[in-house]
Structure 1
Amino acid sequence: MDVDYREIGLRIRKERTALKISREKFAEMIELSVNYVGQIERGEKKFSVETIVKISSCLHSSLDYLIKGIDLRSKEKSDGELSYLLEKCSTYETALITDVVRVILPHMK
């Protein structure tokens, strides 16, 4: 598995700035130097498992998202939207949509 530290750093910075946390305050929260946090956010330094867990906790972000960019919050939102739309469908429409998904899904993987 290739680890893209630059992408991880960009996601960390994105989450930190979305929460309006300064780099200085963030460094204090995760008990690291401001310089080291900057290097992590630029993808210049690797970090320990303990560090990424602290970062994840402070940012209220999943490790899946920070490390691989998999945003489970978006999936939950999409699942909810899909359920809402299907509730409005008739039995026939739901069956038709299910058939369409069965045909399309194998070609998406």
Structure 2
Amino acid sequence: MLDKKNMGLRIRRAREQKHWTREQLAEKLELSVNAVADLERGKSGTRLETLVKLCALLGLSADYVLYGEPSPSAQAIAGMLADRDERTQHLVESTVRAMLDALDETKP
């Protein structure tokens, strides 16, 4: 069963990780700020087209947004890091963040 409240929390967390405001996400999705706020609070759902666009913008799988299940890639990465010490995990996280930031800067 779809839990809109938790779906909204996952969307909000992903938006915040990108350091986007609700206004910025609303503009990218061509929605009102109130529509994004209602979505994040679990008070409303969204059209399939908007969900697809949302997933692409936030870099999330639809499975994760809808049901909280990480993508196979995310599971594989988590598995690779599971037996590493905390210092190594933080080092990998910092490296990946830097790489993603660099990639974002090169996008048109």
TM-score (norm 1): 0.69
What is the alpha-carbon distance in structure 2 between the residues aligned to residue 34 and residue 20 of structure 1?
A: 16
Identity of aligned residues (%): 35
Question: Which residue of structure 2 lines up, in the alignment, with residue 54 of structure 1?
Answer: 53
Q: Which runs of 4+ in 1 moved over 2 A?
A: 78-82
Residue 77 of structure 1, CA deviation:
1.4
Gaps of 5+ in 1: 85-109
Residue 75 of structure 1, CA deviation:
1.1
Report the 3-state secondary structure (helix = DSSP H, G, I; strand = E; otherwise coil) of the residue aligned with 1:67: helix
Give the count of matched residue pairs.
Answer: 83
Gaps of 5+ in 2: 85-108
Higher Rg: 1
What is the alpha-carbon distance in structure 2 between the residues aligned to residue 26 and residue 81 of structure 1?
A: 31
TM-score (norm 2): 0.70
TM-superposition CA deviations, 1:44-63 (whole Å, max 9, x none): 01211111111101101111
What is the alpha-carbon distance in structure 1 between the residues aligned to residue 3 and residue 49 of structure 2?
A: 18
Question: Which residue of structure 2 lines up, in the alignment, with residue 96 of structure 1?
Answer: none
Q: What value does the CA root-mean-square deviation take over the aligned residues?
A: 1.9
